[in-house]
């Protein structure tokens, strides 16, 4: 598995993915837990549709100055590099790629939780310590462009 495109310019928000994973990131990374399992194709597409429907963030918008958790949504694809999208639950609460930031990260996280619960109800979640795909690792944390 290749490393995801860590928020490079020119990467668009995907409309579908084989899998969509939620990884802890940012300053609070060691205090956050992310699910072991990833969303599979149709459920991943449902979350990405919620993300695509959000309003675009204005570069000049006023944001709150509090700190909070940050995650990465990592889309995995067949035959191409994964795409990492920061999901920030603080400040402007943005989610997306550097070229396509959207407001409403909490809505995307809620959609991820809903889809993951439905997926788990229909299948068996992985046992503790097992993942359906490779682990989230620190080198996936995006760097400023």
101 touches 56 (CB < 8 A): yes
Look up residue 71 and give its two tokens.
């995650």
Q: Higher pLDDT residue, 41 or 48?
A: 48
Coil, strand or helix at 144 = coil
End-to-end CA distance of the chain: 23
76 touches 84 (CB < 8 A): no
- pTM, 2 dp: 0.80
Coil, strand or helix at 20 = strand
Q: pLDDT tens, 7-35?
A: 566 778 888 888 999 988 876 655 567 78
Report how far apart, in Å, the C-alpha atoms of 3 and of each of 92, 137, 139 are.
27, 10, 8
Spell out a b/e string for 61-76, using b for 16 or more CB atoms within 10 Å of the CB, else e. eeeeeeeebbbbbbbb
Helical residues (DSSP H) of the chain, grouped into ranges: 41-53, 105-122
Residue 130, pLDDT score: 54
Report how far apart, in Å, the C-alpha atoms of 6 and of each of 65, 96, 138 are.
24, 11, 11
Q: pLDDT tens, 71-101?
A: 889 998 888 888 889 999 999 999 999 889 9
Q: Above 70 in pLDDT, residue 36? A: yes
- Name which of 117, 56, 64 is nearest 89 in CA terms: 64
- Separation of alpha carbons 24 and 89, rounded Å: 12
């Amino acid at each position: 598995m290749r490393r995801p495109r860590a928020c490079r310019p020119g990467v668009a928000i995907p409309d579908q993915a084989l899998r969509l994973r939620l990884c802890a990131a940012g300053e609070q990374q060691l205090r956050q837990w992310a699910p072991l399992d990833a969303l599979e194709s149709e459920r991943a597409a449902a979350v990405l549709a919620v993300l695509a429907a959000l309003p675009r963030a204005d570069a000049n918008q006023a944001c709150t100055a509090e700190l909070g958790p940050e995650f990465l949504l990592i889309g995995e694809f067949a035959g191409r590099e994964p795409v990492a999208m920061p999901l920030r639950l603080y400040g402007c609460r943005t989610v997306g790629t550097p070229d396509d930031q959207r407001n409403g990260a909490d809505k995307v996280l809620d959609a991820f939780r809903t889809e993951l619960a439905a997926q788990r109800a229909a299948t068996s979640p992985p046992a503790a310590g097992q993942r359906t795909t490779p682990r989230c690792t620190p080198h996936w944390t995006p760097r400023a462009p």
